[in-house]
Amino acid sequence: MDIWNLNTLWFALIAVLWVGYFFLEGFDFGVGMLLPFVSDDDLDRRVVINTIGPVWDGNEVWLLVAGGATFAAFPEWYATLFSGFYLPLFLILVALIIRGVAFEFRGKEDSARWRATWDWAIVIGSFLPALLWGVAFANILRGVPIEMVNGYHEYTGGFWNLLNPYALVGGLASLSLFLLHGALFLSLKTEGTVKDRVDALLRLLAWPAVGLVLAFMVWTYIDLGEGLIPGLLPLLAVVGLVAIPYLALGKKNGWAFTATGAAIALIVATLFIILYPNVLPSSVDAAASLDVYNAASTNLTLKVMTVVAVIFTPVVLVYQSWTYWVFRKRIGRETLSPASH
């Protein structure tokens, strides 16, 4: 099989987009879930929210681009995925919308009840995607019921097929890893009492996250059977994961955050490598599986997309990097005026 083609290139680019999304939005989810647990009052909660306030919407652009690239490069993958995973993807979309609205609306009224309501919207809007993305990708990796019906690939399972034990472990693994990733980000971005609470929580979050992720990785290699030989990427991910608790408890949180980010990137890359050349394998009929060829757009479409990506991707990367540089300083209670919103 010739892997040097535009089909493979766009599969790899979509993998890179998911790596970027989970690395960046992963700590957004973690910060959102930790909001009520590392703050004592509204000023503390504003400190927490302001750590991601300037960047969370930019981080979600990676998801939009990943979805758009999938739709344009592999329309059959996009159509089958969204029909089969309709309910979990709908729940993720609603959660992301509610979370975005909550960030904007919580400061619009000077009422403790109003703000508490939107704070919990942020928590739930962060919790559901952090869990359900893991469930979704575990199902994609393992395969779902897809059959050929009148010449089309159709998902023939139901919602409960997606909630199998393997996928649930995948969901808990992503949830716990994003929680840890977010806690480390908060530790690097805050100071004072909020940072003290976050550092105390790291002791509770580190080892459970590592254990769940390792359990999912081991189950993956056992469950998918022959032909899967642990390669360099998953081995590096394991090394990074095991190092995280020692780095965090040793108060080397910058290195610990780097390790969680590297683990996220390596694990997502490994999942796509295992998946290739499939994009959505069938668990009931291998001939019905979608791959980078039978799910792809025309070669002309892929060529046009490649030209557009070459032109605009560097611009987006430079702009987002500049945004993080501008808002690089730590935030504490004294940074914010209690009267401001």
Per-residue pLDDT of the chain (341 residues; tens, 9 = 90+): 455 689 999 999 999 999 999 999 999 999 999 999 999 898 999 999 999 988 998 899 999 999 999 999 999 999 888 888 888 999 999 999 999 999 999 888 888 899 999 999 999 999 999 999 999 999 999 888 888 777 777 788 777 888 899 999 999 999 999 999 999 999 999 998 999 999 989 888 999 999 999 999 889 888 776 555 557 787 888 888 888 888 887 788 899 999 999 999 999 999 998 899 899 998 888 888 999 999 999 999 999 999 999 998 898 889 889 989 998 889 988 887 554 44
Its sign, for the CA torsion 274, 14, 92, 119, is positive
Query: Does any domain span residue 33?
Result: yes
pLDDT of residue 1: 45
Under a CB-based contact definition with an 8 Å cutoff, are residues 16 and 73 in contact? no
Query: Does any domain span residue 169?
Result: yes
Identify the residue whose tokens are 């990097």: 321
Q: Which two tokens stand for residue 309?
A: 């990506």
Q: Which one-letter DSSP state was computed for residue 328?
A: -
Query: Does any domain span residue 99?
Result: yes
pTM above 0.85, yes or no: yes
What dihedral angle (degrees, nearest 10) is formed by the CA atoms of 267, 272, 274, 277? -170
pLDDT of residue 267: 92
pLDDT of residue 338: 52
Number of residues in the chain: 341
Closest CA to 156 of 140, 144, 143, 168: 144
**Rounded to whole angstroms, how far apart are CA atoms 202 and 185?**
11
> What are the tens digits of pLDDT across the range 268-299?
999 998 899 899 998 888 888 999 999 999 99
**Rounded to whole angstroms, how far apart are CA atoms 245 and 257?**
11
Closest CA to 220 of 287, 140, 128: 140
Query: Does any domain span residue 336?
Result: no
Query: Does any domain span residue 307?
Result: yes
**Rounded to whole angstroms, how far apart are CA atoms 165 and 250?**
34
Planar angle of CA 158, 92, 214, nearest 5 degrees: 80
> What are the tens digits of pLDDT across the range 1-59?
455 689 999 999 999 999 999 999 999 999 999 999 999 898 999 999 999 988 998 89
For residue 247, the enclosing domain spans 6-330
Q: How many domains does the chain have?
A: 1
Query: Does any domain span residue 340?
Result: no
Q: Which two tokens stand for residue 17?
A: 């987009």
**Rounded to whole angstroms, how far apart are CA atoms 54 and 24?**
13
Query: Does any domain span residue 78?
Result: yes
What dihedral angle (degrees, nearest 10) is formed by the CA atoms of 160, 161, 164, 166? -140
What angle in degrees, to the nearest 10, is found between the helix axes of 299-326 and 6-34?
30
Query: Does any domain span residue 77?
Result: yes
Under a CB-based contact definition with an 8 Å cutoff, are residues 36 and 120 in contact? yes
**Rounded to whole angstroms, how far apart are CA atoms 81 and 90?**
12
pLDDT of residue 241: 87
Q: In terms of C-beta density within 10 A (0-12 exposed, 13-18 middle, 19 or more buried), how is residue 115 classed?
A: buried
What mean pLDDT value characterizes the chain? 89
